[in-house]
Amino acid sequence: MRLILLGCPGAGKGTQAKLITAHYHIPAISTGDIFRAAIQQESALGKQVKRLVEQGQLVPDDLVIRLVAERIQQNDCRQGFLLDGFPRTVVQAEALQKLSPIDYVIDIDVPEEEIVRRLSGRRIHSPSGRTYHVIYQPPLRAEQDDVTGEPLIQRPDDNETTIRKRLAVYYEQTRPLQYFYEKMQQEFNTPRYLKIDGTGSVESITQAILSQLH
């Protein structure tokens, strides 16, 4: 089972990736994980990535594609994989088609206002990484960590203005992928493009996804 998971920030991709890959016993592969591994290994590609990241620059398509190509050729990907955060652009999608066939593209669809509500309500205990939500998962005491009682913070990029900017970038860069994969399905019947309603419970969304994968 070779899968791509699409969805804007806050759509719940990370949660669904864990549940889907556990079900199929395949690795979840994110570009962030690939970058960190390459940097730790201090490979030639890793050193290039480290330099770009430290300078605050985006990693260019050709470098991302080479890193993904190396990763999906590893032994744990023989039975399949799930790509989370790749491809981000049509250029990357076209390159991926040459690297490996893809069975399904799963697009988790959540309205913008719901995304803003989810992300702007997130609170974090910085030392531990524990996360809360003022509506969906509030701490026992407002703005305090349940374990230590220390104050919670809101990440700078979790304010409404920044969230809407992030979403605008996502729509501009990644929405063309929807049309790319819809066209591929129409012309070649592969990969199958699945649009999944991402506003229900975690369990119902997982079930909706698994029920359409064969």
Q: Which residues are catalytic?
A: 13, 88, 122, 155, 166
Task: Report yes or no: 158 and 119 within 8 Å, Cβ to Cβ.
Answer: yes
Is the peptide bond prior to 87 cis by the omega test (within 30 degrees of 0)? Answer: yes
DSSP state string for 7-36:
--TTSSHHHHHHHHHHHHT--EEEHHHHHH
CB under 8 Å to 46, separation ≥6 — which residues? 37, 38, 39, 40
Burial of 80 (0-12, 13-18, 19+ CB in 10 A): middle
Between CA 5 and CA 105 the distance in angstroms is 6
Of 95, 42, 101, 107, which Cα lies nearest the Cα of 68? 95
